Structure 1
């Protein structure tokens, strides 16, 4: 069977830092629509990638809520990743979701016989924090009535608050790194999206926006900061890419964790949670 031009496959992996369990991982990824990794995608796809700030309470829960809200809103609003009023509306709406979620969490803790301690209340009042990378990929030049067609080109848009990164590769060469362009740019205090920050205009203003086009054979990688910093710092980026491409399915998670631990043992990768989304544009 002939491969249609420029259809898309997506996979993602999330792994905890060494010494932590998967349940403790504070990185989160949501990709929509939610299809298996080997499903040939012809429609718009969105992704939300978050790195929860360990110093804040319930960071992993906020990262999961925020990544899902970002992917859902990006799917509904094509203009979201251009910034402005659309992004401000999203920022306000996702912050509004936090308090009801927290009230339900508090009730469940009481029901489980584990009511919040006084110091937990103090920490929760400060809010939870996470970085946010949101990406939307749209097929171009396809009729809305032609569901079987595939696009010769795809347009992507991205918005980033903090240091989770997008890498666009063509012919397995890096053509764009966003929002961080070099390993030296990673700091210890990235911009963060706070669960109690009701200044939507400030959040939108601190977020960076970009976009581009993908051709058959291109790849997008979305990575949280530890893996992104490694990728930008390696002396042989082609070899690093070959290593990354070994992991293309959820069943590869165990091998992915082993590979990450090897990098950590060699002090090439900071011991932190890792999330990666791989988007392959395949065809002729």
Structure 2
């Protein structure tokens, strides 16, 4: 099969910490368009990656809602990833979805004979929290290629934009070497209290000010990895980054989830990886 001039493949894997079930996993990923990992994509691609904060109630549900809202908004409004009013509009719209969702959840609990306890109501008034990484990738038409890019004019190219609130990270690889890390650039930068997106935070301007934005270019053979904090911290701290890349490249589709979990458990047993939920999105750029 001939590879088209501009082609992207995307896959993602999400797995809970050791000792937890999939239903308990508080990391979430949404990718648009929804497709198989071996489908060739030629148009825009968006992804939302969230890490729910365990100390807040219904963090996994907020992470799922927020990641989906981010991917959908970025697909409809590319200017979301430039910051400013568009990001504020997104933040307000995402928060506005929480109370209707919570009303449905509360109703379902009553119908199941499991109404919310008083202490659950108390916790829910504080809201749910999650980090957020949003990415959009667009193919670059020949005529719009910037003259200062190091990608040859005859090659296909892609433009990525990203927004990050918290410590879920984007890594760009060129020839399987790390060339860009966002928003965290070193393992020492990871803290215990990252910035979080609250389900009841109606101060959209504040959320926008705390969010960081970045953009870049990719050519054939480049890759983007989007990771939640535990895996990102391992990747930045490992003394053998070439070896780390080779290990990550072993997992290229949903059928690899079992092997991915075993590999993560091995890192945890060797105390190289913190025992936390893990989400990763892999985007491969190919062309001729």
Q: Bin the TM-score by the shorter chain.
A: over 0.9
Query: Could you say which residue in structure 2 is the equivalent of 1:210?
Result: 214
Q: How much does 1:3 deviate?
A: 1.6
2:280 corresponds to 1:276:
yes
Query: Could you say which residue in structure 1 is the equivalent of 2:271?
Result: 267
Partner Cα distance (1:112, 1:6) in 2: 50
Partner Cα distance (2:239, 2:5) in 1: 34
Partner Cα distance (1:235, 1:26) in 2: 29
Q: What are the residue-to-residue correspondences of 1:159-174 with 2, within 5 Å?
A: 159-174=163-178
DSSP 3-state at the match of 2:171: strand
Query: Could you say which residue in structure 1 is the equivalent of 2:97?
Result: 97
Measured on the aligned residues, the alpha-carbon RMSD in Å equals 1.2
Partner Cα distance (1:245, 1:213) in 2: 21
Partner Cα distance (1:3, 1:119) in 2: 57
Partner Cα distance (1:180, 1:109) in 2: 39
Partner Cα distance (2:211, 2:78) in 1: 17
Query: Could you say which residue in structure 2 is the equivalent of 1:129?
Result: 129
- Structure 1 contact 5–216 (Cα < 8 Å) conserved: no
Partner Cα distance (2:77, 2:186) in 1: 31
Structure 1 ranges of 4+ moved more than 6 A = none
2:176 corresponds to 1:199:
no
Q: How much does 1:2 deviate?
A: 2.8
Q: How much does 1:142 deviate?
A: 6.5
Partner Cα distance (2:22, 2:189) in 1: 29
Query: Could you say which residue in structure 2 is the equivalent of 1:46?
Result: 46
Query: Could you say which residue in structure 1 is the equivalent of 2:116?
Result: 116
Alpha carbons of 1:142 and 1:75: their partners in 2 closer, same or farther (altered >3 Å)?
farther
Query: Could you say which residue in structure 2 is the equivalent of 1:224?
Result: 228
May I ask how many residue pairs the two structures share in their alignment? 278
Partner Cα distance (1:249, 1:52) in 2: 24
Query: Could you say which residue in structure 1 is the equivalent of 2:161?
Result: 157
* TM-score (norm: length of structure 2): 0.95
Partner Cα distance (2:140, 2:231) in 1: 31
Alignment deviations for residues 121-180 of structure 1 (CA, whole Å, 9 cap, x no partner): 00000000000000000011179xxxxxxx810000000000000000101111100000
DSSP 3-state at the match of 1:79: helix
